[in-house]
Amino acid sequence: MIPTIESLAGFITGAGVVLLIAFLYFKKGNKERRFDERYQEVHAKARTLSWSLTLAVLMLMWLGSLIFEGPKLAFLLLASAYGVMLISYGIGVLIINKRI
């Protein structure tokens, strides 16, 4: 497959947009002290708390799926596990931010 001018231009444009967004993100992050030790510690602990809770929920859901088999169960399990993970991560950030 030979790359065409359009595909090369699209690749260069896409890479430029990604680099611009990354540059702006890191520039703004440095101003807001987003990359300091406290921020890293809070979010590392929040991720740990979130994944621990998600693992417990996943084990309970799989136990439930063994008991109540249904055709739509796989989607329900996946969507609810993702929702629990996001909600528990947000709550973990709030709790740990108050403690530190």
What are the helix (H) ranges across the chain? 5-31, 37-67, 73-99
Q: Is the pLDDT of residue 3 over 90?
A: no
Residue 17 is predicted with a pLDDT of 95
With both helix axes pointing from N to C terminus, report the angle between 37-67 and 73-99 in degrees, rounded to the nearest 10: 150
Residue 84 is predicted with a pLDDT of 83
Residue 71 is predicted with a pLDDT of 58
What is the C-alpha to C-alpha distance for residues 78 and 55, in angstroms, rounded to an integer? 12
Residue 1 is predicted with a pLDDT of 58
Q: How far is CA 8 from CA 1, 5, 17, 19, 20, in A?
A: 13, 5, 14, 16, 18
12-71 pLDDT, tens digit per residue, is 999 999 999 999 988 888 877 777 787 778 888 888 887 888 778 877 877 777 777 765
Do 89 and 50 meet the contact criterion of CB atoms below 8 Å apart?
yes
Residue 73 is predicted with a pLDDT of 75
On the 0-12 / 13-18 / 19+ scale of CB atoms within 10 A, 69 is exposed
pTM: 0.44
